[in-house]
Amino acid sequence: MHTPSIPLQPITPSTQTLDAYVDRYLTIVDSRYNIPSFSPDSSPTNTHTERLSEDSILSSDGELENDNGTTPNMMRKAYYDPVMENDDDQDLHHNSYKEQEDEEQERLVNDMDDLNSHDGSSTDKKVMLNSVCQEEETVGELTDAIVISLSQEYGRRWLCFLFLAVLLISWLTWTIIVNNMNPGQTDGAFTLTDRETHNILMRSLNDEKDQVILDSADLLLAHGPLAISHYTLSKDSQYMMLWTNKTDVWRYSSLANIYVYDRDNKLLFPLVNTSTVEKEPKVSYATWSPIGHQIAYVMNNNLYVTDLHAHSQITFDGSATIFNGIPDWVYEEEILNDNYALWWSPDATHLAYLRLDETDVPELHLPIYTTDNDSYPDEISLRYPKAGAANPLASLFVYSLEQKTTMMLTSNSTSTPTVTAEKGHRDFDDIDRIITDVHWATDSHTHLLFKQTNRIQDKQFTNLLTITDANGTASPHGKPSASVGTVHDYIPTDGGWIDSGKTMIFFGQYLNSDGTWQVDYIDVAADGNGFMHLAMISVGKQTTQVRWLTSGDWEVESESVTVDRKRELLHFLSTERSPLERHLYTLSLSDDDPAATRTCLTCPDDPDTHAYYRVSFSPLAGYYVLYYDGPEIPTTRVKKVDDPSFEVYLQKNEPLQKLLLKYELPGKRMVNIKSGSSDMNAVELLPPNFDAKEKYPVLFQIYGGPGSQMVTYEFQLDWHTFLASKLQYIVVTVDGRGTGFRGRNYRVGVRGRLGELETIDYTNAARHWAGLDYVDQARISIWGWSYGGFLTSKCIEANSGLFSAGLAVAPVTDWRFYDSIYTERYMLTPQLNPQGYVSSAVNNMTGFANSKFLLVHGTADDNVHFQNTATLVDKLTKASIHSYKVQFYTDSDHLINHNNANANLYHLLTDFLWERTFGQLGDFQVLSVLETTDSGTSP
């Protein structure tokens, strides 16, 4: 840390001043000051490596936003809980921390849009995509405006508020869309919006010349200009799809009206005549074909294809319970993590799609109380499979656009596959099947790979569809027939679950001399030693060979892999240097020993220098955006694969670096502690001017879900920074057993007994800190959201005497109440593991009598249902426990953000901590570490 230049002055907060601190913090993070405008019109996504592909924010089609409506690459933290990193498994964080980030970003974008529109209309919004020459000026203006605003209104500049605001604005100001406008064009073009004319431009990274690809004057309709949320270009660049009236459904899904713009003729027309701007949005998903300009889209849960002249309906059974080409709630949330379930073949002649039948899935009703002008509550209904209940039935189909025929690849209770089963082929029954990954393994349409697991996700089959011509040879020509076979099966030997995800990537396809094909693809899989590594898998006629490309006691991030087939290079992020770091590696697939060519592109020479990177590659993999995320101030730059000297900085955060010289920050210390025979990574956030001779209160911030990670070298500022800087808390974050990126042995021990080992580990962590001289062991608290709320409740239940207070937000309290796919992955079914479900539930109320406890939930939480909190309150009531407080937020979902609920929540958390830790407000003298030297008295 730099030498502090701001003196410490004691103040005595009252209820009013404490609320003012939190208000100021929330207000500035919310960006609600009148600052110079940049209005992002426009999730993912939040993977550590965002591969630039169709329909992502960094897509070859130049979208302004992700399909869930959030601006990408924003500041990852504000006053929400930190986002954990997902280690292959679908953990509850995407149902808490990740969704907090997504919702936070969306809310901030909406707030800024409201401020920055010229006349308040959505059609007059500016766009955040600036040119490089505009960036420094814009960030400087924003910084100056915030400092002036703070000085004038408050007479104080509080570090965590100002720091968060400037960081947020710096990251909001810049994002890049590196895209391939046409496969025949040079890689490394991106799109941006002219801030004066609102025209959409294409610019090359090489010459920075602009080409107008859409004139805003062409978007005028009878009612006025078309307000678009994002757009995509066809692969031939002749047309654009424009999204408007977008309405969110669940986390990733939405409905919208879509228009098509003909660039050559400057014509604007609706994709579907029944889904226009003046009508309710009906289109769930739409995507361009990989060549030409056909569109596959889903409307009313049926799949359609159009060449922009005629429309063909592919499915006809779509209904409230039958989904074609899009996921239902649980597949969206736990399997696909996206809003689509259809895949074009590379030659645009075939479409693979999932059909999900949730007819037998029990229905959940969520009451909505704050309906307008209605004396009765409304309700939202969804099919939600809880642990042990019926799952949606998943079937995989392939439709041939040329033959107008559909092939069924998997069986169900009423139909059998319409393809031939090869010798040794294996398939799960439809009630026991989860389809986890679908990927075309061809340059045409000859081969399709798909993975399926059983219900409890401890068996996996990888299957290959082969489409053949009339002569019996796999070919893109001729009347097709098809066969499907199992090319790989996997059953973990460690008693754990399958680490599934979208991990397969096609590499090559070769015709052998005997007329048979060999298909090579790359996957991230368990290597037999308990670590996730890269493998080249070669599939021939009834043979499968696996060649490991990486190995060691470290792991490859499963969604970080990019294959450059032209250069025969493989890029990926890994934890090779440390589980707490991420670095970019590349290896050559043309070498006889690819593993020997592995090179780190971001590793510093000094082993004591730490770094955490993310990366996004362009569609042709010639360029990548490199995000340095910590531990120092983040930066963003563009690099070129063929020219290591090429470097264009998108964000250096120089104004922020200068600003920080004036302020003090909490110290951050990485430690490793023991829990029995296991060790745990932890990070300790220390108040500025920490004095080891003093006694400090401690707050444990926990999540702990299977495969998650919170302790990293990422640069993070959030509500915990406020607690450390303003309230002199030590904030401790720990990753115990079950968390990710330390190998399967560290993860899978929690299977069948969620909450048991984690509670032991977090209790041991608290015992460790309680024994430190600078910790006041009578003032140790614990808090968490979602899975973190579950573990907070379990730690209070354990009655260790270590935690004086617990704060649980939207917790699971009984795993019978959570969704089947997530829960059964880690707990099996209630029928198979009845005692495990009893033990993992929060049942023993004794510990709650000996600690202060805050329980918070949104009544419209579609993810972790309010039932969890209601049931726990009933148990507390029966046990005559009185030392707890309950706060519900009307009509808020898992993010708790309806009608100002989120700001209210953080006031509540702060007040609860203060009162439970120090007694009545105003009783504790706290040092103000964030005041300027020329400030007056404290507010």
- The SS3 call for residue 92 is helix
Instruction: Answer yes or no: are the C-beta atoms of 12 and 914 closer than 8 Å.
Output: no
C-beta separation of 323 from 355 below 8 A = yes
Strand, helix or coil for residue 682: strand
* Residue 99 DSSP label: H
Task: Provide the token pair at 469.
Answer: 């011509």
Two tokens at 931?
């005041």
DSSP strands (E only) in 441-529: 447-453, 460-468, 481-490, 505-511, 517-526
675 alpha carbon, distance to own chain's centre: 30
User: Helix or strand or coil: residue 886?
Assistant: strand
For 556, which DSSP code? B
Instruction: Name residue 461's amino acid.
Output: F
Query: Sign of torsion, CA 877 384 787 829?
Result: positive
Closest to 876 in 3D by CA, of 841, 917, 842, 835: 842
- Look at residues 268, 318, 267, 321 and name the one whose alpha carbon lies nearest to residue 297: 318
Distance CA 131, CA 568 (A): 32
Q: Which residues contact 494 (CB under 8 A, 6 or more apart)?
A: 530, 744, 745, 748
Q: Helices in 771-885 by DSSP H: which ranges?
A: 787-797, 820-827, 834-840, 867-878
- Residue (of 360, 355, 359, 280) closest to 320 by Cα position: 359
Contacts 24+ apart (CB under 8 A), 268-272: 268/218, 268/219, 268/221, 268/226, 268/242, 271/241, 271/295, 271/297, 271/306, 272/297, 272/299, 272/311
DSSP states along 53-67: -TTSTT-TT--SS-T
Q: How far apart are the first and last CA of the chain?
A: 28
Rounded CA Rg of the chain: 27
Q: What span, in angstroms and rounded, lies between the C-alpha atoms of 541 and 560? A: 30
Q: What is the DSSP letter of 122?
A: G
Tell me whether residue 776 is exposed, middle or buried, using C-beta atoms within 10 angstroms of its C-beta: 0 to 12, 13 to 18, 19 or more. middle
For the chain, how are helix, strand and coil distributed in percent, rounded to 5? Answer: 20, 30, 50
- For residue 180, what are its two tokens? 């391939």
Q: How many helices (H) and strands (E) does the chain have?
A: 14, 48
Query: CA angle, corner 52, sides to 193 and 92, nearest 5?
Result: 110
Amino acid 193 reads: T
- Rounded to 5 degrees, φ, ψ at 784 are -170, 165
Write the single-letter amino acid at 130. Answer: N
Q: CA–CA separation, 64 vs 42, rounded Å? A: 5
**How far apart (Å, rounded) are the C-alpha atoms in residues 243 and 228?**
5
Pairing of strands 200-204, 210-214: antiparallel
Cis peptide before 834 (omega within 30 of 0): no
How far is the C-alpha of 42 from the C-alpha of 62, rounded, in Å? Answer: 12
Q: How far is CA 270 from the centre of its chain?
A: 31
Q: What is the DSSP letter of 663?
A: S
Question: Phi and psi of 502, rounded to 5°?
Answer: -85, 85
CB-based contacts of 187: which residues, under 8 Å, 6+ apart? Answer: 180, 618, 619, 620, 621, 622, 623
Catalytic center residues? 786, 861, 894
CA dist., res. 723 & res. 874, Å (int): 32
